[in-house]
């Protein structure tokens, strides 16, 4: 078995593992969110609504079919999170505290994007180092 073939197999294994971890992390809602059968079509539980034939959790809303907006001071999935906003912020029913200043908002978005870029870069570097270490150890054996 050649080193190139081993590296290719390892690469595909690494890709499959990353995909499995990603799918596990993301997760999906499935049949456990269907509450009752009505005319042979499942109804979503309170706090969920049907989107593309799947029951999806309400964000920024709550109640039967996600028809009620979050009360003041609450936000997020089924309005279960409490806003604790600073003086220069307002509570947004979808994401929580948001700055009243557009400059602050842009800076927060840029910082958030930078963090994700750094995390992805670190993950890629870690994967590359792993591949290089394995390839070096395989070459050393031959």
Task: Please enumerate in sequence order all residues whose Cβ is within 8 A of that of 65, keeping only pairs 6 or more positions apart, or say none.
Answer: 44, 49
Spatial distance between the Cα atoms of 20 and 13, rounded to a whole number of angstroms: 10
| Integer Cα distance of 123 and 26 in angstroms | 17
Return the domain boundaries, the chain.
101-142
Q: What is the pLDDT of residue 127?
A: 86
Q: What is the pLDDT of residues 89-105, one digit of tens each?
A: 999 999 999 988 765 55
pLDDT in tens, 61-95: 998 889 999 999 999 999 999 999 998 899 999 99
83 vs 75: CA distance, rounded Å: 7
The pairing of strands 89-92 and 96-99 is antiparallel
Evaluate if pTM is beyond 0.85: no
pLDDT, tens digit, 9 for 90 and up, residues 31-52:
344 565 444 456 888 889 888 8
Angle, vertex CA 92, rays to CA 87 and CA 98, nearest 5: 45
Tens digits of residue pLDDT in 3-26: 555 556 656 556 565 544 544 443
């Amino acid at each position: 078995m050649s080193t190139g073939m081993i590296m290719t197999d390892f690469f595909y294994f690494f890709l499959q593992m990353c995909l499995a971890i990603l799918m596990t992390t993301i997760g999906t809602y499935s049949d456990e969110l269907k509450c009752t059968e009505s005319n042979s079509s499942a109804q979503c539980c309170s706090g969920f609504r049907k989107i593309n034939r799947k029951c999806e959790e309400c964000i920024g809303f709550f109640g039967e079919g996600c028809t009620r907006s979050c009360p003041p001071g609450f936000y997020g999935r089924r309005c279960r999170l409490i806003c604790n906003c600073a003086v220069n912020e307002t509570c947004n029913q979808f994401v929580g505290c948001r700055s009243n200043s557009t400059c602050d908002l842009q800076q927060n978005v840029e910082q958030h994007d930078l963090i994700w870029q750094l995390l992805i870069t670190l993950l890629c570097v870690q994967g590359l180092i792993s591949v290089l270490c394995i390839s070096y150890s395989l070459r050393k054996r031959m």
